[in-house]
Structure 1
Amino acid sequence: MIGLLKRIFTWWHQSTIGTGFTLWKAKARLVGEDFEGNRYFEEGGEGSFPEGGKRRWVVYHGHAEGSRVPPEWHGWLHHIWDEPPTVNPPEVKKFEKPHLPNMTGTPLAYRPHGSISVASRPQPEQKDYEAWSPDAL
C-alpha cells in the first residue's frame, strides 16, 4: 500500500503513475538506457510539436536529479542530435573525464582545505608574505 501511495504522490524516487500514463498515451517507445539505469523514451507516431518533432522523456532510476543525465543523452533529449547515443555514440576524446552527477549536499561533495565542514583541527596560520606597512618607509 505504501509503495502505491509513493508511486501516486512522489516523483523524486521514480516515475509516478501519471508519468507512466503519459508515456502510454503518447505511445512512447523505449530508445535506450544509460549506465546509471535511467531510461529514455521518444513519442511514437506523429510528432506533437508544430514542426513534427517528437517529445522525449527520461525516467530516472532512483532519485530524480537533472545532473544525472550524461552529456550524450542530454544532447538527444534537447533535440541537439537526431539519433540517440545507442544508434550513433559520440566520439570520446582522450581528455574527457567520465560523467559525474552533482555531488553538492552529499558526503562526496568537494570540501576545500580550511572549509568549516572538514572535520579536522584548524591549522596554524602560516605567513608566507610580509604585510606592507606605510610606516616602514
Structure 2
Amino acid sequence: MVSLIRTLRNIRRAGLAQWWRFTYYNGDAKFGQRVGTDQFGNKYFENLNPEEEIPGRHRWVDLAQHDYDATQVPPEWHAWLSHIRKEPLHLDPIVQAVNPPWKAPHVENMTGTRGAYRPYNTVRPKVNTWVPTTAPRGEPTTTSS
C-alpha cells in the first residue's frame, strides 16, 4: 500500500495525468528520472532515492503497448532492468561498442497471433488418405440382333 505522503509527493512531481497513468498501468504511484526510450516507444525510469523506493525495485518500464508481454522489452534494456548492466544503454560503453551491424532487430514474441511462426512439413505422411480409383467409362456398347 502506498502511503498518502508519497502519493501526494508524486502527484506534485509528475502531475496528475502522469501520476494517474503510472498508477493505472503499473499499479504503483512511482516517480523517477526518465533514463531512456527504446525503438518500440517503451520508456525506462529510475529512482535512486533509497527513502522512496525499495532497493531492487527502483528501475521500471512504462510499456508503449499495454498487453504486458515480457518480450516487448529488448534484451539490452532487460539487462539494465534486472541489474545485469549498471549504466543505461546510452551511457554503457560496452553496449555501444558491441552492437554489430549484422545483428537482427528485436521482434516481440508473436505466439497466439496471426504473425506466429508456423513451420511447414516436408516429410511424407505416415498415413495416406484413401483415394478411390475408378476406370474411365467408355461408350456404351450396343448389341444388335
User: What TM-score does the superposition give when structure 1 sets the normalisation length?
Assistant: 0.60
How far residue 22 of structure 1 moved from its aligned partner, in angstroms, is 2.2
2:117 is aligned, of 110, 113, 132, to: 110
Q: Describe how 1:72-87 pairs up with structure 2 within 5 A.
A: 72-87=76-91
Shift, 1:65, TM fit: 1.2
Partner of 1:71: 75
Inter-partner Cα distance in structure 2 for 1:103 and 1:18: 22
Secondary structure at the aligned position of 2:30 is classed as helix
Question: Structure 1 CA distance, aligned partners of 2:109 and 2:36?
Answer: 22
Contact 1:42-1:56 at 8 Å conserved across structures: yes
Larger radius of gyration: 2
Quick one: higher RCO (CA 8 Å, sep 6+), 1 or 2?
1
- Unmatched segments (≥5 aa) in structure 1: 1-7, 9-13, 115-122, 128-137
Q: Deviations over 1:79-126 (max 9, x none)?
A: 011100122261213553211110101111111114xxxxxxxx9x47
Q: 1:88 & 1:108 partners in 2: Cα distance?
A: 33
RMSD of aligned residue pairs (Cα, Å): 3.1
What TM-score comes out, normalization by structure 2 length? 0.57
1:57 maps to: 60
- The structure in which a higher percent of residues are helix is 2
Matched letter for residue 17 of structure 1: Y
Following TM superposition, by how much is the alpha carbon of 1:20 offset from its aligned partner in structure 2, in angstroms? 7.3
Counting aligned pairs with the same residue, the percent is 39
